[in-house]
Structure 1
Amino acid sequence: MELTKFTHSCVRIQEGDTTLVIDPGNFSEVEDAMTGADHVLITHTHPDHLDPERVPERLRQDRDVHVWAPGSVAADLRETLGEAAADPSGNKRIHDVDAETELQLGGVKVNTFGGQHALIHPLIRTVDNVGYLLNDRLYHPGDSLVVPHDIEPSTALVPLHAPWSKMAEVIDFIIAVGAEQAYQIHDALLSDNGFGIVEKQVTAFAAKYGTRYTHLATGTTVQV
């Protein structure tokens, strides 16, 4: 399985003839990420994970792409797209996804986890958030630190910095997931100095518990 990192939380996955994109948000290179994709997986509604303008426009241009998202997100997309919410044959292509389900999207098995965005502040309502585990190997949690149960994925995508987390929680997430390899996502708010401070600690603590943390530059492709 091949993974390409885009800015912030957007990644593109190629497995055989199946191409998936996760979280093409407004910090990301949406057009590049979505070109030729078969499926788009959305973890939650926030614009840094779902660009509210460019993603619908791309979906209008390519009526064969299927989207999988929490129910409220899928409903909003269907309303925004109108008749373009169906493929050229009139079949539904915007699908509701709940946590604790399994999907088979071409050559990729997808298991879902979580269900709720991490708490930002008690006065800010949480939204639905679904984490995606692909072929039991690659885990993208969206905006949460939910650990997939009953399995240790070989690769974890780690929300490195967010208004809803602190570095200690990020380190504990890496330890709890127990993956062999970790790469960063949710990183667009960090400066070069910030990366240096956070990743120094994350790398050291991850290694103590058997996880190799590697910084993945935007545009880089790796095998997972």
Structure 2
Amino acid sequence: MPNEPTASLSPRRLTTLGHSCVLLELAAADGSVRRLILDPGNLTAPLTATVAVDAVLITHPHPDHVDPSQLAALAAGRELPIFGGAGLGSYLSEAGIDAVTELEPGEHEIAGIQVRVGSAPHEVIHPALPLPANLTYEIGGVFAPGDAFARPEGQTEVLLAPTGAPWMKLLETISYVAEVAPQRMVPVHDGGLGPAHRTLHTTVMKKFAPEGTEVSVLAPGQSLEF
């Protein structure tokens, strides 16, 4: 986990932690910095409570997006608020985790931060494979689509774009980024790719990014301010 922010911290900072796990540090209305973490799954390196996380947001209950051991490490013995869609509560209750709020699409205040929650079907892996409900989140200018090529309601400052998955082709992500046309794109969902393929995918993404979109490739633990 990254170190505690300094006094010069931007009101908005994004840190990738591996695969689809992202830490957002945002200024609340009272001026305090709040920390929301997205999708701490089992393809993310083990997390700790080095940074006091105010809430966890889960797009959908697949192990690469939510892992009970990661949640336990982040909580460090306290009750950590966890938010997600239908079915998340029952998924985590089997691991003895009960501090779960299942969200409906709409505007929500989570840990003092305004979050716009949407719903988009998980992309198809195989027609015979059941898929969970998938939420999308718009938080402080960042759009997290989960495992879907979902479109935000308006212009997006930062798009967390899937880079590799059994449900996607690279061409689909390139087309998706072109349609959303964010100011900045951060590749995520790449924990299943080897180094050579990760480099290949991000190189091609940069080559075909739409004009006006900056591609920011971040290694786990790296941050950007926006």
Normalized against structure 2, the TM-score is what?
0.85
- Post-superposition shift, 1:159? 0.6
Aligned 1:46-125 pairs, distance under 5 A: 46-56=62-72, 58-59=74-75, 61-63=77-79, 65-78=80-93, 80-81=95-96, 85=98, 93-98=99-104, 100-125=105-130
Matched letter for residue 69 of structure 2: E
Q: Secondary structure at the match of 1:102?
A: strand
Q: Which moved more, 1:112-121 or 1:27-36?
A: 27-36
Which ranges in structure 1 are unaligned for 5 or more consecutive residues? 86-92
Secondary structure in structure 2 of the residue aligned to 1:128: coil
Aligned-partner residue type, residue 122 of structure 1: P
Would you say the 8 A contact 2:48–2:73 is kept in 1? no
Give a deviation string over 1:15-42, Cα, whole Å, max 9, x none. Answer: 1321100000012134337841111000
- Retained in 2: the 8 A contact 1:21–1:33? no
Deviation at 1:123, TM superposition (A): 1.1
1:79 Cα deviation from its structure 2 partner: 5.1
> Is the 1:21–1:34 Cα contact (8 Å) retained in structure 2?
no
For 1:147, the equivalent position in structure 2 comes to 151
**Structure 2 equivalent of residue 169 of structure 1:** 172
**Distance change >3 Å, CA 109–CA 125, structure 1 → 2:** same
Residue of structure 1 in register with 2:215 after alignment:
213
| Count of paired positions | 210
The SS at the match of 1:215 is coil
Write the mapping of 1:168-187 to structure 2, written as runs, cut at 5 A.
168-187=171-190
User: 1:57: Cα distance to partner?
Assistant: 5.8
- Could you report, residue by residue, the CA deviation over 1:93-123 in whole angstroms, capped at 9, with x for unpaired residues? 420113x311112342111123321111111
5+ residue gaps, structure 2, are: 1-11, 28-32
**Kept after mapping to 1: 8 A contact 2:47/2:73:** no
The one-letter code of the counterpart of 1:111 is R
Deviation at 1:77, TM superposition (A): 2.3
Distance 1:198 1:20 in 2: 27
What residue identity is the alignment partner of 1:21? Answer: I
Q: In percent, how many aligned pairs have the same letter?
A: 28
Find the partner of 1:24 among 30, 40, 46.
40
Q: Take 2:72 and 2:85, find their aligned partners in 1: how far apart are those partners?
A: 16
Q: Contact 2:108 / 2:114 at 8 angstroms: preserved in 1?
A: yes
Relative to 1, partners in 2 of residues 1:12 and 1:58: Cα closer, same or farther, differing over 3 Å?
closer
1:58 is displaced (CA, Å) by 4.5
What's 1:89 paired with?
none
Partners in 1 of 2:50 and 2:133 — Cα distance? Answer: 23
Q: Any conservation in 2 of the 1:6–1:33 contact (CA below 8 Å)?
A: no
Cα shift at 1:190: 1.6
Superposition TM-score, scaled by structure 1 size: 0.86
Alignment of 1:187-206 (within 5 A): 187-206=190-209
